[in-house]
Structure 1
Amino acid sequence: MKQFISFIRKEFYHIFRDKRTMMILLAMPIILIILFGYAITTEIKRAPIAILDQSRDEVTQKMIDHLSASEYFELYTMVNSEAEGQALFRQGKVRLLIIFPAQYASSPDASVQLLADATDPNEATQLAAYATAILSQVKVETINSPLSTATAITPVVSLLYNPLMKGAYNFVPGVMGLILILICAMMTSVGIVKEKEIGTMEVLLVSPMKPVYIILAKATPYLLLSLVNIATILSLSYFLLGVPIAGSLTLLVSVSILYALVSLCLGLLISTVADTQQAAMLVSAVVLMLPVMLLSGMMFPIENMPKILQVLSNIVPARWYISAVKDIMIKGLGARAILPEISILAGMAVFLVALSVKRFKIRL
């Protein structure tokens, strides 16, 4: 019995000495329950909206007050024309534009127009339903009020960018971001760690090449292979799933290459931390997959998350790539519109390469 207890004690010492194992055993459940508890929700809240009030009467003002007070909407701005609202859509600053026609309260046939960004069909449908419910509630409250003699509400919903409500318009950019970061990071990290295990890394370390050149040389073949993945994904999306490429194909491929480069740099960084292929695969799959799925806006709106998770989402490369792909493929925007996303991804690539070089060990 003493021998059995001694072996148990030895196993505990072995686990406690391995900080990575302790992190997985104790910290991972806490991280997962927080992410899944706060990030996974189909309910939309605090969606930014714009309002064009051509009537400017007491009825429309009351409706605007109800919309602004709702937990589902956040009034971004009042616009003076539909063109101004369309510009906000293209910039990604609003999700819904509500247009009240002139002389709304005194016209029995007046209709409220709702313009929704349907790049995410489910979100657009929900926002239109929320707005319709709130406007209908105001109608019930004012129908017996002297404020208006005719408060008929027949919302006319227009779905921008995706009038057929195809789900592929939303999930294809997200899947592209997930596939590229997993494949690129996993291929690079596992490939380098494999050389450490079989001993061929020693040959590279004794060569006269500087560490930065070794790292870049390891990443270049995987970057070229990533071009094949990018071409395959875009071809299947366009020809098989029917997702249009409304913007520049050259720009879309360029952004995808930049994102693949960031993913390869993440793989290089993982290879400086992991000592075995299994560890590299685990870190690549778990540490990269969960943030991409939960914090990139791929499945759940970032605006619904707590502030701390919204801040953390800024360091997830997939968030910026998915946003850029939607703007190019679905909205047909140019390079100027996605310049912030391009700058952030480029900055991430430079930072990750510098960090990988600094952590690269010239001795095994």
Structure 2
Amino acid sequence: MKKFIGFIKKEFYHIFRDRRSLFILFGMPIAQIMLFGFAITNEINNVNVVVLDLSKDVSTNTIVNKISASSYFTVTQLLESQNEVESIFKKGKVKAVIVFEKDFDQQMRNAGIAKIQLLTDATDPNTANTINNYITSITQNYAKEINQDIQLPFQIVPESRMVFNPEIKSVFMFVPGVMTIILMLVSAMMTSISITKEKELGTMEILLVSPLKPYQVIIGKVIPYVFLSIINALVIILLSIFIFKMPVQGSFFLLGLESVLFIITSLSLGILISTMSKTQQTAMMISLMGLMLPVILLSGFIFPINSMPLPLQVISNIIPAKWFIIIIKGVMLKGVGLLYLWKETLILLGMTVFFILLSIRKYKIRLE
């Protein structure tokens, strides 16, 4: 046991002496969570729009003022004719053009219908759709204001409520996914170079002739990174709560346990990559390029898995990040407990055992 503890201490010393590893382990996650948290969003703010007002009456002025007063849009210019629309879009600085028909106020009061044409730059379809929804919402609110005293014989008024995210904040969707990606990639990448580093430095022979058994070497390589990754996860969670105002509706204790489980799963996968690679460069390439795309595309972080073709849905089940994102959203946003998340927890636990056993087997093969 003393030899095993000494081996673990040796691993800690190696990590703390390697400033590059410490930067990757602690510096990169903080930079990434800040960058992704602020940069990745499906919300819009201060989008430049222009107005072509062919009516110039009280109603159109009121609507333009409401649009301009919102934090979502900035009315940068008032056009004089339809011929200016195409040229204004080609400059690339304007995302939408709002066109009010002639005699807008008169049409609304006499015919009961007034038309607004909304032209959006659809080179970015998601942004164009969001702009359309926001402007439509502003005009509908104005219509409700001027019609609040008018009673119709029958009315059907749907009321919607966004459960778990009433303000529809995109950060609630992106932060759990970014946390998962960071923990997965950093943990796997750091451990993936641990055994290959021993091979390149020529110290692998010492491990081969040491009295330590293969499982002790594997576990000894993982334990230091478990403690350091727990600190890493704690920093990420605190940043999410205090910087991005992510709620934690469920148990902090359960969130911590599930995070530790996912960390061990990622570290075990990194060790497996390490036992199968001959150089640090190969191990790092596999852990970065081989894991990044599947984690981003097939974990449900950005794209809904149910909308994917069936073969991809099946493949997504072997991505550990998919199950952790379900867990972390369940704990932080829904406030559910282990009673609802036992299946995902068991899957991660099973993956961890599988990766460790396979790593030990691969290590034994290399001993021979």
CA displacement, residues 20-53 of structure 1 (integer Å, 9 cap, x when unaligned): xxxxxxxxxxxxxxxxxxxxxx9xxxxxxxxxxx
CA contact under 8 A between 1:270 and 1:283: conserved in structure 2? yes
CA contact under 8 A between 1:193 and 1:275: conserved in structure 2? yes
Number of the residue aligned with 2:278:
275
Match of 1:243 among 243, 246, 249: 246
Match of 1:265 among 268, 278, 284: 268
TM-score, structure 2 as length reference: 0.58
User: Partners of 1:178 and 1:186 in 2: how far apart?
Assistant: 12
User: Partners of 1:310 and 1:232 in 2: how far apart?
Assistant: 32
Task: State the SS of the aligned residue for 1:354.
Answer: helix
User: Partners of 1:212 and 1:152 in 2: how far apart?
Assistant: 70
The alpha-carbon deviation at position 151 of structure 1 amounts to: 7.4
- Aligned residue type for 2:330: D
CA contact under 8 A between 1:211 and 1:362: conserved in structure 2? no
Match of 1:214 among 195, 217, 222: 217
Task: State the SS of the aligned residue for 2:334.
Answer: coil
- Aligned residue type for 2:313: Q
User: Partners of 1:247 and 1:264 in 2: how far apart?
Assistant: 26
The answer as to 2:318 corresponding to 1:315 is: yes
CA displacement, residues 58-100 of structure 1 (integer Å, 9 cap, x when unaligned): xxxxxxxxxxxxxxxxxxxxxxxxxxxxxxxxxxxxxxxxxxx
CA displacement, residues 312-361 of structure 1 (integer Å, 9 cap, x when unaligned): 00000000000000000001111111111100000000011111111114
Number of the residue aligned with 1:36:
none
Provide closer, same or farther for how the CA distance between residues 176 and 208 of structure 1 changes in structure 2, counting only shifts above 3 A.
Answer: same
The answer as to 2:354 corresponding to 1:363 is: no
CA contact under 8 A between 1:296 and 1:302: conserved in structure 2? yes
Is the radius of gyration larger for structure 1 or structure 2?
A: 2
- Aligned residue type for 1:188: T
Number of the residue aligned with 2:77:
none
The answer as to 2:157 corresponding to 1:154 is: yes
Provide closer, same or farther for how the CA distance between residues 203 and 165 of structure 1 changes in structure 2, counting only shifts above 3 A.
Answer: same
User: Partners of 2:322 and 2:244 in 1: how far apart?
Assistant: 22
The answer as to 2:237 corresponding to 1:234 is: yes
Equivalent pairs counted in the alignment come to 221
Number of the residue aligned with 2:27:
none
After superposition, residues 299-338 of structure 1 pair within 5 angstroms as 299-338=302-341
Number of the residue aligned with 1:200:
203
The alpha-carbon deviation at position 245 of structure 1 amounts to: 0.7
Select between 178-187 and 151-160 the one with higher mean Cα deviation: 151-160
User: Partners of 1:301 and 1:151 in 2: how far apart?
Assistant: 38
CA contact under 8 A between 1:188 and 1:268: conserved in structure 2? yes
Task: State the SS of the aligned residue for 2:167.
Answer: coil
Provide closer, same or farther for how the CA distance between residues 334 and 273 of structure 1 changes in structure 2, counting only shifts above 3 A.
Answer: same
User: Partners of 2:348 and 2:162 in 1: how far apart?
Assistant: 30
Match of 2:352 among 349, 352, 356: 349
Task: State the SS of the aligned residue for 2:295.
Answer: helix
Number of the residue aligned with 1:286:
289
The alpha-carbon deviation at position 363 of structure 1 amounts to: 3.3
Task: State the SS of the aligned residue for 1:285.
Answer: helix
The alpha-carbon deviation at position 167 of structure 1 amounts to: 1.2
CA displacement, residues 148-204 of structure 1 (integer Å, 9 cap, x when unaligned): xx8754321110011111111111110111001101110001122111101112111
Cα RMSD of the aligned pairs, angstroms, is 2.1
Number of the residue aligned with 2:115:
none
User: Partners of 1:201 and 1:221 in 2: how far apart?
Assistant: 18
Task: State the SS of the aligned residue for 1:246.
Answer: coil
TM-score, structure 1 as length reference: 0.58
Match of 2:188 among 185, 188, 193: 185
CA displacement, residues 100-146 of structure 1 (integer Å, 9 cap, x when unaligned): xxxxxxxxxxxxxxxxxxxxxx9xx99xx9xxxxxxxxxxxxxxxxx
Task: State the SS of the aligned residue for 1:272.
Answer: helix
User: Partners of 1:294 and 1:188 in 2: how far apart?
Assistant: 23
Task: State the SS of the aligned residue for 2:367.
Answer: coil
Task: State the SS of the aligned residue for 1:269.
Answer: helix
- Aligned residue type for 1:178: I
CA contact under 8 A between 2:194 and 2:271: conserved in structure 1? no
CA contact under 8 A between 1:184 and 1:267: conserved in structure 2? yes
Number of the residue aligned with 2:168:
165
CA contact under 8 A between 2:183 and 2:263: conserved in structure 1? yes
Task: State the SS of the aligned residue for 1:157.
Answer: coil
User: Partners of 2:314 and 2:158 in 1: how far apart?
Assistant: 36
User: Partners of 1:245 and 1:234 in 2: how far apart?
Assistant: 10
Match of 2:255 among 234, 238, 252: 252
Unaligned ranges ≥5, structure 2:
1-41, 43-125, 134-152
